[in-house]
Amino acid sequence: MPNKRKYAMKNKHLLFFALGAAVGFCIPFLISSQSVSDDEHPRTEVPAAVSSPRVPTSVEFAGQTVELKRADLHERMDREMLAFTYSHQLTLLMLKRANRFFPIVEPILKEYGVPDDLKYLMVIESNVDPRIKSSAGAAGLWQFMPVTGREYGLEVNDNIDERYHVEKSTRAACAYLKKSYRQFGDWMTVAASYNGGTGGVAKKQGSQGVQSALDMFLVEETSRYMFRLLAAKTVFENPARYGFLLRSEDLYPYIPPKETVVVTTQIDDLTAFAKEHGVTLAQLKTENLWLRGDGLNNKSGRRYEVKIPDEKALFYNPRDTKPHRKEWVIDW
């Protein structure tokens, strides 16, 4: 009797197994026989594989070869390469925005004799977002603090804040960087001082007996800063290698203003001023982020250049966008 019961139970298990296998075999055919549109069942455009990007043995930066073979340098670079590679949304936005702002910034760097690679300071400072303001109060593409901005010739108050002025803040950044280079004679150390302050880095040089910031023991933010800079350059020079497959139409084009109006008097109402020039206040302020109030106070008669946006050009066709660098896109 026990053997018969065991035999019956075995047959029962086999039956369930056979039925389960048959159902499993049929399901794919049942599903595939149904008509499913792309909207109902979209295919992913993002690869599922995740791997660690290869760390370069060296990076050319501002005419200097930065060797990364030493263990601490290799691992610090590895950390920032991972951060740039897998911060998908942010890295994509930085690349898109760079297409709009690099053409403005690069000629100014060249004019002031600052190496082109220093534009990546702007990338890691503001994510190439001219509107950004940090919790500490730093603002604009180059993230100047109010005191430092004024020190380098920018007007900073409640009504006008030229830290948000792309061209003027870039010129101020060039002046700062050139002054730091005269002090340190090394662009990587200059980069560290942009984050940690020239005084703080100079003090570390003396107390630690080393000249390069790469060899200093620094607070984590400044220590990471230099390698974020190198990682930004590395990824920007070959985005596709790190999984960023952009088309030309994905990038943001530079949209030139319709005209530039020279103002030497006060503007009481910027809304009325905008309407006089055929645009909205929002469009005017987006083009001139340095205008912070409802009007333009100008009792001293200073000369300001107010850009008037081209409303028609704002409706651009993305397919007409040209990449600033062909390496950024896969269709050029």
pLDDT of 57 reads: 97
Amino acid (1-letter code) at residue 282:
A
pLDDT of 9 reads: 44
**8-state DSSP, 295:** S
Query: pLDDT tens, 8-21?
Result: 444 444 444 444 44
pLDDT of 261 reads: 98
Tell me the mean pLDDT in the region 307-320.
94
Query: pLDDT tens, 211-258?
Result: 999 999 999 999 999 999 999 999 999 999 999 999 999 999 999 999
Q: Which two tokens stand for residue 39?
A: 């909207």
pLDDT of 50 reads: 84
pLDDT of 47 reads: 59
Cα separation, 292 vs 198, in Å, equals: 30
pLDDT of 49 reads: 72
Rg of the Cα trace of the chain?
28
What DSSP assignment string belongs to 226-255? HHHHHHHHHHHH-GGGGT--B-GGGSPPP-
With a cut of 60, say whether residue 7 has pLDDT above it: no
Q: Which two tokens stand for residue 328?
A: 């950024």
Cα separation, 289 vs 270, in Å, equals: 13
With a cut of 60, say whether residue 164 has pLDDT above it: yes
pLDDT of 36 reads: 44
Of the ranges 39-43, 264-268, 289-293, which one carries the lowest mean pLDDT score?
39-43
Task: Write the CB contacts of 220 (distance below 8 Å, at least 6 apart in sequence).
Answer: none
